[in-house]
Amino acid sequence: MDEADFKGFFDDMTDGSMPRDPRMLLDRIVRAEEMEISLYYELARSAPNEQLRRVIEHMAGEEKQDLEKLRMLYDYFPSYGGKIPPGYSSSFSDPAHLYQSWSEKAKKARDIELHQCAMLCHLAMHAPYPCIQKIIIDLAGQQLRQAMFWEDMVLAYSGMAAGYPGGPGYTPGMYAEQEEKGGPESSP
């Protein structure tokens, strides 16, 4: 896959061109899941430690199960009869070579998960039955949890504890009032 095809995947969410046709949306979600699985295996191969490699391989296995669930949804969304929109190749290949560091690959996995979550939520609004909507919402929840996992990995391997430069519990401006008064010892 070249950079333009991969960029086209993300442009759909940022330029408001998410397809209105549920089947076309499902096609994009399935393609993204296929792309994500190959990225997970690349992340596992280059994981910083053995335990993380095993976790990521397990997650890739779960992604394969999710892909099968997504493919079963085709029965509930009739074909739109159109062709793949511009910006997409007919098949997604391994995009991992585009990102050099493990951290960059983890960021890309996080971004894919977030985009899939948004697309699944959009698809759920078009579900023909409540039970199908529940399946789709569950899949969206899984994607969000996986995005949170990847965000934790990005933070852990970039040296940022708990998401803030000041460590757990720190929020920007937290000590501003005390600093103006001359430090924490001057507080009552």
What's the pLDDT score for residue 20?
A: 76
C-beta neighbour count of 22 within 10 angstroms? 20
The candidate with the shortest Cα–Cα distance to 69, out of 145, 150, 131, 146, is: 131
Give the list of residues 6+ apart from residue 126 with CB closer than 8 angstroms, or none.
22, 25, 77
Question: Hey, where are the domains in the chain?
Answer: 3-186
Reported confidence tier of residue 185, pLDDT bands at 50, 70, 90: low
Provide the CATH number for the domain formed by 3-186 in this structure.
1.20.1260.10
pLDDT > 80? residue 7: no
Sign of CA dihedral 80, 91, 121, 13: negative
Q: In angstroms, rounded to a whole number, what is the distance separating the alpha carbons of residues 151 and 157?
A: 10
Average pLDDT, the chain: 77
What's the pLDDT score for residue 79?
A: 75
pTM, whole model, 2 decimals?
0.69
pLDDT > 90? residue 163: no
For residues 108-133, average pLDDT:
94
The candidate with the shortest Cα–Cα distance to 92, out of 166, 13, 171, 7, is: 7
Residue with more model confidence, 19 or 185: 19
Q: In angstroms, rounded to a whole number, what is the distance separating the alpha carbons of residues 25 and 78?
A: 12
Reported confidence tier of residue 64, pLDDT bands at 50, 70, 90: very high
Residue with more model confidence, 81 or 170: 81
Residue 40 near residue 109, CB atoms below 8 Å: yes
Residue with more model confidence, 86 or 142: 142
What's the pLDDT score for residue 135?
A: 95
Per-residue model confidence as pLDDT tens digits over 89-117: 333 344 445 546 888 899 999 999 999 99
Residue with more model confidence, 176 or 126: 126
For residues 13-33, average pLDDT:
79
The candidate with the shortest Cα–Cα distance to 18, out of 145, 94, 120, is: 120
